[in-house]
Each structure stands twice: as structure tokens, then as C-alpha cells.
């Protein structure tokens, strides 16, 4: 009996592969030390800090995407890049470099992001528009609005206090953006694991009909999820402005594709109902390391995009199997 129970225990490798977030984190560590084979100067504390700092921007922007994908129903928020750009432009113009206007500008940006996300959610629920179509259409609306309002002239400035808070070391040499990322990670853990909303989010991701019959107000959860996605994307735009200290019309565009990839690489199931923000954080580290390694190998940006595309396509190929299993 004892031998039988021992033989039935999963191997360490099986337990590892059953834990995608941990597997992604292990992959990130392997990639970091593998960088020494490409460039002997790659493996050092400063480089590690810089990679985590860069991953933080992606991880923050991908936070809302995590919630949307967990909600299921083919949910992917394609308006994330537009919201990031809009939020940065609002803060840039409204604050105009004045430290005293940072918080009001942040409130304006977060409100705009949440409103856009709420419209996405309402369109999906009330008009039964597929999430990909709704959020893609909203991206066009955001881009058009930015062009109409700015007339192509991005006037304003970045408040110095914002640039210092994001880019400079704050505690024990840790950059401000990393501290913000850790605080957000704790908040996301509380939301997903310790709130009624989190339990309902996973429930609708598994099966919306069953969740509805169990008393979950599916419409409310979906609208709240997309509103949170817009809110968090706007927060990402605010933080990204502190790093770039300038804005342009496609500031958030390069983060759309990686924000989806980070969630998937971290083990969140595209069919919905299973995932974690810790996985997204690990995925953001993996993608940032891959980009850093490709740059260290002096590959052109086009090849970098090709590699990231291949990674996502491989993971998406698994999606069909997940969906069949779910059904």
C-alpha cells in the first residue's frame, strides 16, 4: 500500500508543469543567466534591476488584461493600447508640468480609462457585441478622439515629481515603478482571492450559465471587469509617462500585443476561469528578458516581433485543446 501511494505521487517535474506561473518564473531565471552566454556583461545586479523595472511597465498594463481573459467568453481587451496613450496625453496636457496638478490629472486619466472600459462592457452585454470586435472598435474611437482633441499637436509637459517617483530609486535602491508594481500585485491578489467579485469572476469564466443559475449577476461582473481593465490601463499610461517624460500618438500601441502574451505565458487560460496575476508578472519578466536577449544579440526589431509572435502562436495553439476540454 505504501509503495502504491508513493508511486501515485506526481513527480517534481509534473508538479512544476502543473504550475504555469512558477514554470514561467523559472524560465525567466534561466533566460537571465543564459544571457551571459550572449554577453558576459549581461548577468549583473544592475541589469537584473533594469529588467525588472522594464517588466513592471508591461506587468502593470497587463493587469486589467488578466481580469478580462479570466472572465472568459473570448475576452481580450484590444483597447488597452489606446487607453494607455489617452491617459498619458491627458496627464501631459492637464498637468502641463505642474507638480500640484499631478493628482487631479491622475484622477482625470483614471476616470477616462474606467469610462472607456465601462462602455466596452456595456456594448458586450447589452448589444451582444463580441469582445474582440467591441474593444477593437473602441480603439478606433479613442484614436480618433485623440486626433480631434490634439489636432496632432501634443502640447504639455511631464511634472518633475512624476518622473522622479517612477524612474528614481526610492527604497533600498528599488525604482519607484517596481514598488508600485508590488503594491498592485498585492491589490490584485486581494481582488482575485479574497473578494466576492474575484470568486464571481472565476465562476463566469468557467461557465456563465452555471454562474447565472448560482445567483451571480453576470452582466454586472462583466461591466466591472472591463471598467477595471480601462482603469488599470490608464494607470499604466500615467506611470509610463513618468518613464518616457513625453508622449506620442502611439505610446501605448507597442504594449498591446505583449500585454496579451504576458497573460498567456503566465498560464492564464484563454478559455477563461483559470489564472492569476502572479502568472502575468512572471510572463512579463519572461517577455522582457526575451526582448533584452534579442537586443543583446543585436537582432533587429522586426525579428524581435517575429519571435514574440511565434511564442504567442504556439501558446494559442494550445487554446483549442483547452476549449475542447472545457466543453
Domains of the chain by residue range: 55-282
Cα–Cα–Cα angle for 255, 256, 258, rounded to 5 degrees:
65
What pLDDT is stored for residue 42 in this prediction? Answer: 77
What pLDDT is stored for residue 320 in this prediction? Answer: 45
What pLDDT is stored for residue 325 in this prediction? Answer: 45
Q: Which helix (H) or strand (E) holds 248?
A: none
Mean pLDDT by groups of 10 residues along the chain of 327 residues: 54 60 79 77 82 93 95 90 95 92 95 96 94 94 86 86 86 88 96 94 92 92 96 96 90 90 87 89 90 77 76 62 47
Q: Which three cell numbers stand for residue 290?
A: 526575451
Which stretches does DSSP call E strand in the chain?
169-171, 174-175
Structure pTM?
Answer: 0.88
Q: How far apart are CA 315 and CA 248, in angstroms?
A: 32
Residues 248-271: b if buried by 16+ CB within 10 A, e if exposed: eeebbbebbbbbbbbbbbbbbbbb
Mention every residue, 6+ apart, whose C-beta is less than 8 A from residue 232.
60, 61, 63, 64, 67, 113, 184
Cβ contact 87:234 at 8 Å: yes
User: How large is the C-alpha radius of gyration of the chain?
Assistant: 20
Mention every residue, 6+ apart, whose C-beta is less than 8 A from residue 136.
78, 79
Amino acid at each position: 500500500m505504501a509503495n502504491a501511494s508513493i508511486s501515485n505521487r506526481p513527480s517534481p517535474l509534473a508538479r512544476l508543469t502543473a504550475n504555469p506561473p512558477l514554470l514561467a518564473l523559472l524560465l525567466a531565471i534561466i533566460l537571465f543567466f543564459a544571457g551571459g552566454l550572449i554577453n558576459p556583461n549581461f548577468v549583473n545586479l544592475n541589469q537584473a534591476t533594469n529588467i525588472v523595472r522594464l517588466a513592471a511597465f508591461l506587468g502593470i498594463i497587463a493587469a486589467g488584461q488578466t481580469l478580462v481573459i479570466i472572465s472568459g467568453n473570448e475576452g481580450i481587451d484590444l483597447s488597452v493600447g489606446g487607453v494607455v496613450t489617452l491617459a498619458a496625453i491627458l496627464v501631459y496636457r492637464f498637468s502641463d508640468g505642474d507638480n500640484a496638478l499631478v493628482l487631479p490629472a491622475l484622477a482625470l486619466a483614471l476616470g477616462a480609462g474606467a469610462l472607456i472600459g465601462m462602455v466596452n462592457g456595456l456594448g458586450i452585454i447589452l448589444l451582444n457585441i463580441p469582445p474582440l470586435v467591441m474593444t477593437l472598435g473602441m480603439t478606433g474611437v479613442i484614436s480618433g478622439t485623440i486626433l480631434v482633441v490634439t489636432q496632432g499637436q501634443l502640447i504639455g509637459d511631464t511634472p518633475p515629481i512624476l518622473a522622479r517617483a517612477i524612474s528614481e530609486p526610492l527604497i533600498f535602491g528599488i525604482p519607484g515603478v517596481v514598488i508600485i508594481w508590488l503594491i498592485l500585485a498585492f491589490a490584485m491578489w486581494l481582488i482575485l482571492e479574497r473578494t466576492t467579485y474575484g470568486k464571481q469572476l472565476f465562476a463566469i469564466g468557467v461557465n456563465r450559465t452555471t454562474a447565472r443559475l448560482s445567483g451571480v449577476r453576470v452582466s454586472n461582473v462583466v461591466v466591472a471587469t472591463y471598467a477595471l481593465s480601462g482603469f488599470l490601463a490608464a494607470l499604466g499610461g500615467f506611470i509610463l509617462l513618468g518613464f518616457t517624460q513625453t508622449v506620442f500618438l502611439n505610446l501605448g500601441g507597442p504594449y498591446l500585443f505583449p500585454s496579451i502574451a504576458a497573460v498567456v505565458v503566465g498560464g492564464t487560460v484563454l478559455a477563461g476561469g483559470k489564472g492569476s496575476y502572479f502568472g502575468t508578472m512572471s510572463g512579463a519578466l519572461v517577455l522582457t528578458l526575451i526582448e533584452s536577449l534579442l537586443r543583446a544579440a543585436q537582432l533587429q526589431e522586426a525579428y524581435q516581433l517575429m519571435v514574440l509572435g511565434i511564442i504567442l502562436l504556439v501558446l494559442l495553439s494550445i487554446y483549442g485543446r483547452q476549449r475542447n476540454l472545457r466543453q
